[in-house]
Structure 1
């Protein structure tokens, strides 16, 4: 990948495995993680509006890291290229301007509106590194299978940002954790 890259951890640390994205970007931010200068890693958590405004700074690629229920075994990692118009992927859901409950889908819908108003451009490429959750109930901490998937998710993100070109993936790739 070339150009500026934003890696954004999404999720609520008070809802068990929903904190997967936040924990993964925390690990990516640790000293010695080999991040190039053109890569920015941020913990967005549940602040979807913050992500929309952050993207106005101009990024070529957005990598969202989030819990992603797709029917696999808990801890299964998914690498998904989000394309506009793909059924069920990044289609706006619910009220777009509820700043406390904005899904990544709603953020990207809001981003298009913001870019139209400011003359900015949305990321050319959007990738999702997702993990199949085991438990999304109230509580702090990841389940064992999701916690075990975090180091592999970190490796996946590092591979994405260190690989040149766009031959990384087609529509979706699955990677079993452990």
Structure 2
């Protein structure tokens, strides 16, 4: 049976840099074409609802905003047994579990990924309710996407740049919650307030 890989972005797009993981997986999907053995998923703040997806993956790549104590916008990739050390300190939402609990549940059920990588970005602002990603974190998305592509290729999965990146209509997120649509709506809301 073929190995299966999951590319997962987690976070909350409504809390500024907390949305890094979702925005990174969104951009990965826009730029890269992958085989049917690779699932690309916006995990948002789904918490334990993600366990089934994690259980089905032999290999897992997670994008997330992680407070490593580094300069904002800095990417750090951790692998395998190091990953839970960095995913346990933050809850996905006030009412849900952290990703460490998702990994623990998958392990208890006997289906822990064999290879695991966390592509984490140091946030600048996690308190900006309704705001976009800050410039340093937005600037890290390209490197994060390239890192995920490199990991997939290293692990033997086909991952090739799309000839033409997907349009917002074809993207992972739709209904104006894709990054560009969301930021445009913030700009127009700010313009309305200024005219007031």
TM-score with structure 1 length normalisation?
Answer: 0.76
SS of corresponding position for 1:123: coil
Which one of 144, 158, 183 corresponds to residue 153 of structure 1? 144
Say if 2:85 is the partner of 1:88.
yes
Q: How many residues align?
A: 153
Mind listing any 5+ residue stretches in structure 1 that lack a counterpart? 166-178
Partner of 1:52: 51
Counterparts in 2 of 1:94 and 1:22: CA distance versus 1, 3 Å: closer
Please give the alpha-carbon distance, in whole angstroms, between the structure 2 residues aligned to 1:15 and 1:103: 16
Shift of 1:99: 9.1
Question: 2:135: which partner in 1?
Answer: 144
Runs of 4+ in 1 over 6 A off after TM superposition: none
Question: What is the CA-CA distance between 1:90 and the residue it aligns to?
Answer: 5.0
State how far apart, in whole Å, the 2-side matches of 1:21 and 1:13 are: 9
1:57-80 CA-partner distances (Å, limit 9, x unpaired): x21111111001111110000110
Deviation sequence 1:77-105 (CA, Å, 0-9, x none): 01101307x883455x699xx99422111
Runs of at least 5 residues in structure 2 that lack an aligned partner in the other structure: 157-196
Shift of 1:164: 4.0
Out of 119, 128, 143, the position equivalent to 1:129 is: 119
Aligned partner (choices 91, 97, 111) of residue 102 of structure 1: 97
Q: Is the 8 A contact 2:54 2:103 kept in 1?
A: no
Cα 1:21–1:89 change in 2 (3 A) is: closer
